[in-house]
């Protein structure tokens, strides 16, 4: 059977889904993403569909299918587990000349749903000649190659124009970058990278990609933030796709807000792709949850790049010392003795457990345990994350609950 491939513009148009099971749930997500007005007809639905109905994102009619349900529909999906009901839906669609996808019988369908890969703004649809597993395998191969850049999905530069994407690359392991972040790298013309970003990701770039090293080595070489702002704006105004690659998340002490402001001021389109922050990932990689039921109800992330009492410090250290939850300190190694002393002076118990995780999620990860009163005695080096609180004593690794 030969198919005629077609992209449907369903925004604002009614689509009927008959059935409320797992398959219907999977199909509804794509329909809503396309902007369709979705009506679900089924006596019962999955919790996910119930939630969408309760939030007003789709209409749910909790009853059996009626032929009049097809009226005014642009597309129909028959996704029940009853072949007789699906056949009834299909027959009504044929009578009204409405395309119908039957989940149980592709041969009786007037339309097929492809295996889909999304690589914004590209959408790849694969039909497997009636074999959905073959379509899914091919879709996965294409998606993987687009993600790693080996299959180009770049728009023509005259169409795409210059733009900037701020990508949080995660705490160190290159596999912890988000799918959207990896997609941005695959289409980049210019990559501006920080020292703490996973540099293995640079190996995946196309050979012609321009790389700017914005090192920011403590007490060493670095590019001033103003220079970085000027560089990314200049390259974007020249029609390039600039990816600003940072360790962790761009908005967690990453100065991403300043870069967004520079782009907005220059009229450059800018997108932010959040990243996995080391404030959560570093403790997790050492088996330390920043929150745990029955132990803490809050956690606080504080920058320690300036010591307590410094004129530029914006931290209310006495208030931090009085908090009962987990305290996570970033960029605090150099000032950790002063911070520990300030917390103890503010009333925090000197026996409070402390963990320090260096080079988190990488092959060089190390960790040390101490107390607030003894942590200053540790020989430490950045980059490292400091965790202060009772969650440090949970020791999930030893209990075998974390793998």
Contact 58, 32 (CB under 8 A): yes
> What's residue 312's pLDDT?
93
Pairwise CA distance, residues 38 & 287, whole Å: 43
According to CATH, what is the number of the domain 157-276?
Answer: 3.40.1010.10
CA 321 to chain centre: 32
Which helix (H) or strand (E) is 159 found in, with range? Answer: helix 157-160
Catalytic option among 39, 69, 189, 194:
194
The answer on pLDDT for 160 being more than 60 is: no
Which helix (H) or strand (E) is 86 found in, with range? Answer: helix 83-96
Identify the band that residue 302 occupies on the pLDDT scale cut at 50, 70 and 90: very high
> What's residue 356's pLDDT?
96
Mean pLDDT of 9-13: 96
According to CATH, what is the number of the domain 279-394?
Answer: 3.30.950.10
> What's residue 403's pLDDT?
45
Q: Among positive and negative, which fits the CA dihedral 249, 303, 216, 383?
A: negative
Under DSSP, the state recorded for 16 is E
pLDDT in tens, 143-157: 777 766 667 665 554
Mean pLDDT of 124-153: 77
Which helix (H) or strand (E) is 141 found in, with range? Answer: helix 132-148
- Token pair in block for residue 15: 């689509």
Which helix (H) or strand (E) is 145 found in, with range? Answer: helix 132-148
Under DSSP, the state recorded for 221 is -
14-113: CATH class: alpha beta
> What's residue 194's pLDDT?
86
194 is catalytic: yes
- pTM score of the predicted model: 0.77
> What's residue 174's pLDDT?
93
pLDDT in tens, 267-285: 999 999 999 999 999 999 9
Mean pLDDT of 260-267: 97
Average pLDDT, rounded, for the chain: 90
> What's residue 335's pLDDT?
95
Identify the band that residue 224 occupies on the pLDDT scale cut at 50, 70 and 90: confident
Contact 334, 382 (CB under 8 A): yes
140 is catalytic: no
Q: Which residues pair with 272 in a beta bridge?
A: 166
Alpha helix stretches (DSSP H) within 223-354: 225-237, 256-266, 278-285, 317-321, 336-345
Catalytic option among 213, 216, 390, 395:
216
> What's residue 399's pLDDT?
53
CA 295 to chain centre: 28
The answer on pLDDT for 248 being more than 90 is: yes
Pairwise CA distance, residues 228 & 155, whole Å: 25
Q: Domain ranges in the chain?
A: 14-113, 157-276, 279-394
| More confidently predicted of 380 and 163 | 163
């Amino acid at each position: 059977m030969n198919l005629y491939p077609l992209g449907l513009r369903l925004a604002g148009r009614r689509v009927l889904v008959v059935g409320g099971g797992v398959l219907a749930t999977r199909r509804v997500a794509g329909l809503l993403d396309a902007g369709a007005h979705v009506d679900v007809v089924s006596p019962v639905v999955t919790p996910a569909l119930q939630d969408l109905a309760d939030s007003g994102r789709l209409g749910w009619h909790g009853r059996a299918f009626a032929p009049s349900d097809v009226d005014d529909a642009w597309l129909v999906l028959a996704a029940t587990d009853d072949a007789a009901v699906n056949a009834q839906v299909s027959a009504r669609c044929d009578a009204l000349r409405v395309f119908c996808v039957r989940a149980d019988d592709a041969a009786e369908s007037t339309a097929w749903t492809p295996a889909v890969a999304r690589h914004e703004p590209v959408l790849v649809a694969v039909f497997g000649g009636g074999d959905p597993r073959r379509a899914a395998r091919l879709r996965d191969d294409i998606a993987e190659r687009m993600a790693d850049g080996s299959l180009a999905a770049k728009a023509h530069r005259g169409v795409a124009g210059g733009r900037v994407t701020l990508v949080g690359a995660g705490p160190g392991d290159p596999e912890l970058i988000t799918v959207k972040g990896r997609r941005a790298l695959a289409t980049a013309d210019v990559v501006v990278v920080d020292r703490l970003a996973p540099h293995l990701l640079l190996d995946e770039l196309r050979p012609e990609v321009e790389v700017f090293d914005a090192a920011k080595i403590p007490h060493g070489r670095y590019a001033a933030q103003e220079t970085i702002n000027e560089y990314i704006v200049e390259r974007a105004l020249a029609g390039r796709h600039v990816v600003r690659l940072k360790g962790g998340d761009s908005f967690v002490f990453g100065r991403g807000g300043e870069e967004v402001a520079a782009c907005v001021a220059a009229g450059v389109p800018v997108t932010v792709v959040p990243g996995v922050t080391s404030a959560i990932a570093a403790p997790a990689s050492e088996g330390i949850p920043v929150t745990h039921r029955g132990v803490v109800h809050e956690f606080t992330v504080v920058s320690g790049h300036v010591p307590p009492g410094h004129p530029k410090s914006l931290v209310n250290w006495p208030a931090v010392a009085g908090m009962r939850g987990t305290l996570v300190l970033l960029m605090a190694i150099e000032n950790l003795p002063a911070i520990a002393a300030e917390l103890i002076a503010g009333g925090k118990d000197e026996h409070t457990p402390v963990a320090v995780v260096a080079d988190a999620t990488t092959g060089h990860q190390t960790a040390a345990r101490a107390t607030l009163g003894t942590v200053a005695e540790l020989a430490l080096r950045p980059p490292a994350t400091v965790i202060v609180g009772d969650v440090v004593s949970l020791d999930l690794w030893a209990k075998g609950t974390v793998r």
